[in-house]
Amino acid sequence: MTQTSEFQALKALIHTNLDRYEELLKKSNTPEPFLNEARMHPVIDLPNHVADKELYVTTQNLASALDMMATMVQLPSWRLMSESMATYTVFSMQMATSLQLADVIQELGGSAGKPVSVDEIGARVGLPPSRVLKVLRPLANSYIFQEASEGLFFVNNRSSLYLSEDCDVKQFVQYTSWIHPRVVPSIPDAWMKPESKDDWSPANAAFLHAFDEQHKCRDAFELFQKRIPELIPRFGVGMQACNRGAVEGVLLDYAWSELPKGTTCIDIGGGIGALMAALLDQYPNLNGVVQDRPEVVEQAKASFEKNMPDAVASGRVRFEAADFFQEIKASGPNKVYVMRMIIHDWPDKEALQILQNIKVKMEADSKVIIIDTLLQPAVIVAVRNDNAELGVCLSVVCAVKRSGR
């Protein structure tokens, strides 16, 4: 039997998944996705959208396979150099959000969405047109914004609309594009000093090396509160944005609908309640409690009062200020304790303390559900093609990059 080459196997996998993706879109009456229209997708881009499970998995497989094909067909040297210069994309996104370019283009372009020149944009934001171009063109080449013509005219597209003022993704981009360039240079110091190589305590995190030279804060969250309080609301809304895409996996991979009617889910360290909002929206059998630090709980309550006022008024969702290192407040029967993106923040000692605090509140019918990011091994996975048995080399894509599952 002739050995199928890597290229041919991957090509077949892409075709199979692309065909299946199209079939599942039609089956679910979901319109095809698009790139350059200046509007959100009417189904896929809904904040709490939950796809059919097969469609969700097929989407992830297709995106991973296409990413692998892009790597395969490019010169490795070009790919490596391109990845090493990703900082410039981060810089461009930081500038675009700080200058509110998506909103400026939307306003100047009007309801017709006419292309807007860099001269017009520059005059509005107070930058020379040449610098506006240096921000927008790299993003347009990454399919964020669209360069309508070589005459330096730009319009929004589906991706750039996520950078507009009223979108939570903008807050996530502003937070990460401001924080990460400042933290990354501190990683060698935090990791390579002989006295700290095996120190995984929060106090030795690169984040604190970057922002807390006197080491007066115990962890990043205390530093936020004491040194950079203006980042707290941005961080909260940004974490809500993490729910987009990731929430599908969370809702599809656990039988939430089978929990008894009246079950209360306690979201420990629940931020401004993005996961809880998705759970309550999809599963009428559930009630919820969002627990977090006092200033975050106030933000969560305001978010629910704006977006799900009926849940607040009926008492279906409650808010509790709590320090999970000291106490988990909610107890009693029919309780499910949920932690999403919490345990990965802490070393074993602190993680065990959180779990111990949950344990003392649990009853016989209680459950603990931990949802977190795993850096999966980049192993080779054998994939069976329906038309032929093909040994395909697929890198398992890290959850940080793809689905958050």
Q: Alpha helix (H) ranges present in 253-324?
A: 274-282, 294-307, 309-313
The torsion of the CA quartet 159, 164, 166, 172, rounded to 10 degrees, works out to 70
Q: Which residue has the tokens 């401004």?
A: 272
Residues 128, 221 share a domain: no
- 54 inside domain: no
CATH number of the domain where residue 125 is located: 1.10.10.10
Max Cα distance, the chain (Å):
68
Positions in the chain whose pLDDT score sits under 50: 382-405
Does the annotation mark 15 as catalytic? no
Same-domain pairing of 219 and 260: no
* Cα–Cα dist 84/90, whole Å: 12
Task: Give the domain extent around 230.
Answer: 168-238
DSSP 50-92: ---HHHHHHHHHHHHHHHHHHHHHS-HHHHHHHHHTTHHHHHH
CA distance 74 to 67: 11
pLDDT at 91: 92
DSSP label at residue 372: -
Identify the H or E element spanning 119: helix 118-125
Residue 331 is predicted with a pLDDT of 77
CB crowding 115-142: b at 16 or more within 10 Å, else e? bbbbebbbebbebeeeebbbbbbbbbee
Strands 146-149 and 263-268 come out as: unpaired
Asked if 173 and 156 sit in the same domain, the reply is no
Residues 6+ apart with CB under 8 A from 291: 266, 267, 268, 269, 270, 297, 319, 320, 321, 322, 324, 328, 329, 330
What tens digit of pLDDT does each residue of 328-341 get?
987 788 999 999 98
Residues 111 and 141 reside in one and the same domain: yes
Q: Residue 299: which CATH number?
A: 3.40.50.150
Asked whether residue 261 falls in the same domain as residue 365, the answer is yes
Convert the pLDDT of each residue in 159-168 to its tens digit. 999 999 878 8
- Does residue 42 lie within any of the structural domains? no
Confidence at residue 384, expressed as pLDDT on a 0 to 100 scale: 42
Residue 383 lies in a domain: no
- Whether 263 is in a domain gets the answer yes
Q: Coil, helix or strand for 134?
A: helix
Same domain as 354, residue 326: yes
Question: Which tens digits make up the pLDDT trace of 198-223?
Answer: 777 777 777 777 776 665 777 777 77
Residue 94 domain flag: no
Residue type, 100: Q
Residue that is written with structure tokens 């360290």 in the block: 269
Residues 175/234, Cβ–Cβ less than 8 Å: yes
In sequence order, which ranges of 200-285 are alpha helices (DSSP H)? 206-211, 220-226, 231-241, 243-252, 274-282
pLDDT at 158: 95
Judge if 284 and 350 occupy the same domain: yes
How many angstroms separate the CA atoms of 290 and 124, rounded?
A: 41
Question: How many other CB atoms are found less than 10 A from the CB of residue 161?
Answer: 23
Residues 194 and 296 in one domain: no
Q: In this structure, are 208 and 156 located in the same domain? A: no
Q: Are residues 262 and 150 in the same domain?
A: no
377 located within any domain: no
The number of folded domains in the chain is: 3
- Report which residue type is found at 68: M
**Beta-ladder partners of 384:** 389
Q: Residues 15, 41, 180, 344: which is the catalytic one?
A: 344
**Within a domain: 224:** yes
Q: Tell me, what's the pLDDT at 1?
A: 59
Contact 192, 70 (CB under 8 A): no
380 closest CA partner among 388, 371, 391, 365: 391
Judgement on whether residues 306 and 330 belong to the same structural domain of the protein = yes
CA–CA gap between residue 223 and residue 200 (Å, rounded): 17
79 belongs to a structural domain: no
Distance of alpha carbon 4 from its chain centroid, rounded? 36
pLDDT in tens, 21-72: 999 999 999 999 999 999 999 999 887 777 788 998 899 899 999 999 999 9
Structure token pair of residue 138: 């790299």
- Find how far residue 101's CA is from the centre of its chain: 22
Residue 366 has a pLDDT of: 94
Are residues 360 and 346 part of one domain? yes
